[in-house]
Chain A
Amino acid sequence: MCELCMKHGAGGKWYLNAKHYSDEVVEKYGLYDFLLEQYKNFEQMSVRKVSGFSPVGMDYRMRMPIIGRIIKNMAGNMLNKQRFPKDPFKPESHIGQIVPMEDAIAIIEECAAEPIIEKNCMCRYMSRGEKEACCINFGVMSEVISQLPRFVPEKDKFHLTRKEAVERFKAHNRKGYIGTIWFGPFPYINNLCSCESPECAGIRPRVDFGIMSVHKAEYVIGLEKNRCDDCGACIIKCPFNAIEKDPYSRKIKIDLDKCFGCGVCRHVCPNDALFLLPRDIVPEVAGKY
């Protein structure tokens, strides 16, 4: 992974570095104005032209052999840029990583800047027209969101205490929503999302088109074979189709290359046979984010 993630933060995890959540960053880059501008027309971002190319109809071009690879690379580079973006209308420097429940709880309890809020998920609104409050936001986002009624959940209170936020996240994760943490924009972290595939606008480019829009988690799933009774509950739950039944032995098999390490499958296992392993100690997938 990038230099930033390896160098900073506890245990080499960029999202456990409290500096990225601090109010100093907000002041330094004038983030209130930047984010208000961005979120006012957030839904436009997916259809606005980027360096002369319209994203509408781009999906067929991305399926072309050579041109597709160039476009994917360019899109990945734009999202992965490690500097503060000048233009609030571009999805620049907006990169995220999948986090399992334990890390998300650590983020909420240790790092997240007050006030913590929940807001209606934009991705779900854009792709389904539904308003579901499943994003947890930190710091300056509370002021930005209170200006934009369509993101405010239909409850009087959208501010959460740390404890409530943990409970909300746990509930989403048990439902099968994938936890993701996002720079919004670099170097400020303010989004802890719980979303599904294919609704999530961040996971979709990675899964369907192979653009590096989100990094895999620092973990992969492991299976304790003695405990597993091959019921197959995890196969249905896995949002990335990484778990399958071996056609010959009828045993559960995990495709580590496909596993994003979200840990959602653990919640449905009746025998607690699934557990998370740090990515680094599994040689097949070490360093492959």
Chain B
Amino acid sequence: MSQLEYMDVSRARFRTTAGGLVSLQFDDTFYPKVDVYLSFPFSYPEQFISIRDEEGEEIGLIYDLSELDSVSREAVQQELKWRYFTPKIERITSYKEEFGHTYWGVITERGRENFVTRGRDQAIRIVSETRILIIDVSGNRFEIPDLRKLDARSRQYVETLL
């Protein structure tokens, strides 16, 4: 018997509120603000989504985002994007190690950015052979979706850390 409580998505309506949050109408219950969590943020970015109320109690799990109607899906997707905000690195323009800290200059889809990472273990998360997550000193995340698609120079910088 499964202990997991999947949500009957046909009864759920997620909406982005005027204030930019996600609300949920589930049968007769209205939640003005719900939080969305990914159980497996790397391997299953669109599955096993835990919906929690403001107290942190789980209302239910969504097995797959595609089960939702399009408006609900968009609302949840948008919220996931904010929660797991992770710009993708397109190119590494500069890389400097100094006194155990690394100063990065990168180009992401948002444009030019600089950030600082500390240590290796705290800074690098190897998701797969080709997918790398870089976490800066404040906890901000940057992703290299496919190492092979980076230009040679950028790749060289990253490979030092692997």
A binds B: no
Interface positions of B (Cβ within 8 A of A) = none
Interface residues of A (CB under 8 A from B): none
